[in-house]
């Protein structure tokens, strides 16, 4: 398996969440209300799975390794744009969290919530297409088979550490020890 395989598989799960988020946006338009529990799940999904797990492997492993290679200007520009997309997604999810909290406390508008949802719904499909169709396969040319195998092993290690990190935080929060 190539190291882009797990990343592309993760994209399919993100796309499924985007579809659910689109349905929620339609429901909000019809009812004028949000599903607070669903938005909690959305925020957790994008913080944990899409950003920490998926973007983490891209930024901390794939992009790190590619950053040591003499990339063509075109590929360097795409990678820089992908990183900018990650930052935008991260910031938008944080804005969504605040907007949702403010709305639930009757201190913010529904439009603040839906604006964030619309950004995410537009951003991710375009971002995924850039990676799947214009970046991932060309990026393999910069990595030897040995480097690709090492990257897959690092992905597995990254995932296993992530699970422990997540639940360590859950326990610490419950114990009142979270920094």
Q: What is the pTM (predicted TM-score) of this model?
A: 0.91
Q: What is the mean pLDDT of the chain?
A: 94
Residue 170 has pLDDT above 90, yes or no: no
CATH number for the domain harbouring residue 133: 1.20.120.520
Contacts of 58 (CB under 8 A, 6+ apart): 7, 82, 86, 131
- Among the ranges given (128-132, 139-143, 158-162), the one the predictor scored with the smallest mean pLDDT: 158-162
Segment 45-74 shows an average pLDDT of 96
The total of structural domains in the chain comes to 1
Residue 108 has pLDDT above 90, yes or no: no
Range of the domain at 89: 4-175
């Amino acid at each position: 398996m190539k190291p882009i395989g797990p990343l592309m598989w993760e994209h399919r799960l993100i796309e499924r969440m985007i579809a659910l988020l689109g349905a929620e946006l339609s429901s909000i338009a019809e009812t004028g209300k949000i599903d607070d529990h669903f938005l909690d799940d959305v925020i957790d999904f994008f913080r944990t799975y899409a950003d920490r797990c998926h973007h983490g492997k891209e930024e901390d492993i794939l992009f790190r390794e590619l950053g040591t290679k003499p990339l063509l200007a075109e590929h360097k520009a795409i990678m820089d744009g992908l990183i900018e997309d990650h930052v935008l997604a991260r910031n938008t999810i944080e804005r969504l969290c605040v907007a949702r909290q403010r709305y639930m406390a009757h201190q913010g508008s529904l439009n603040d919530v839906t604006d964030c949802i619309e950004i995410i719904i537009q951003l991710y499909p375009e971002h995924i297409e850039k990676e799947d169709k214009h970046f991932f396969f060309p990026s393999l040319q910069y990595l030897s088979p040995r480097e690709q195998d090492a990257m897959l092993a690092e992905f597995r290690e990254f995932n296993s550490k992530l699970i422990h990190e997540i639940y360590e935080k859950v326990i610490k929060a419950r114990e009142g020890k979270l920094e």
